[in-house]
Amino acid sequence: MILSGAGISAESGINTFRDSGGLWEKYDINEVATIDAWHKNPSLVLEFYNSRRKQVLNAQPNLAHFKLVELEAYFDVQIITQNIDDLHERAGSTNVLHLHGEILKSRSVSSDKELFAIEQDLKLGDKTEKGEQLRPHIVWFGEEVPAMTQAELMVRSCDILVVIGTSLNVYPAAGLAYICSNHAKKYIIDPQKITTQSDDFIAIQGTAVDSVPSFIEELITNHSK
Ligand code: NAD
């Protein structure tokens, strides 16, 4: 089980939220990434996500994304990502669950059941065939995380949990790090020392590109079926 966050895409040139130089320094989260912001100023929210989409389209998967694909030859791999980019998929990973939505998809304001692929900017007035305004397929602060139940089931049954590039600050997603069974081995890869709620994580301090490849090699050697 891989639980990834913004850090795994940092070396692909996609800003994280909380690091210095991160997105929060340029935008106020309450103005662009909440359901209230959408109701108050949808144009600003669309502008913010249009710019995120351009950044994702210009980015490429990095060595950490690619190395995770190799694991699939040896393990049953499930990736749960908080990221809204598609870099895991473009690298070739086959089982990716996006907890917080996907920037290259849109949906109507009233339902997340039907999703539409988008690469262009989304504007006010862009509507579904039924005449409903389209919004980015993003789970905003203040909204339920629909994939949470599915994610919890997956994590509870895993044997190895590898957390990569997440500050474990955003709940309920961060809670996933703490619900696997007692027998599961738990690793956390991040350049910063992440404070976890339990002390049974093996911490590997380093960036994703520097640390994931050798970690994966070791995992394959030591644990593969
Ligand atoms: P976060 O910004 O809170 O934390 C990022 C973590 O990545 C930090 O712990 C940081 O030390 C680490 N990091 C920085 N550079 C790294 C590197 N090169 N290699 C490995 N780790 C590195 O991000 P989060 O915990 O994922 O939570 C933020 C929320 O923001 C998520 O819900 C996500 O939806 C959203 N987000 C997504 C993207 C994306 O899709 N790429 C980008 C920014 C934010």
Q: Is the CB of 169 under 6 A from ligand 1?
A: yes
Entry pTM: 0.95
pLDDT in tens, 21-62: 666 667 888 999 999 999 999 999 999 999 999 999 999 999
Beta strands 160-164; 2-4: pairing state = parallel
Phi-psi region of 181 (alpha: psi -120 to 50; beta: other; left: phi over 0): beta
Q: Which of 16, 82, 193 to mutate to test the pocket of ligand 1 (most atoms within 8 A of CB)?
A: 16
Catalytic residue positions? 100
- 16 Cβ inside 6 Å of ligand 1: yes
Q: Return the SS3 of 56.
A: helix
Q: In what order do the strands lie in the sheet with 134-138?
A: 111-117, 101-108, 134-138
Please give the distance, rounded to the nearest whole angstrom, from the Cα atom of residue 7 to the centre of ligand 1.
Answer: 4
Q: How far is the CA of 152 from the centre of ligand 1 (A)?
A: 20
pLDDT tens profile 166-190? 999 989 999 999 999 999 999 999 9
Angle subtended by helix axes 208-223 and 63-70, to nearest 10: 10
| Number of neighbours of residue 25 by Cβ within 10 angstroms | 12
Is 84 touching ligand 1 by the criterion CB < 6 Å? yes
Backbone Cα Rg of the chain: 18
Q: Is the CB of 105 under 6 A from ligand 1?
A: no
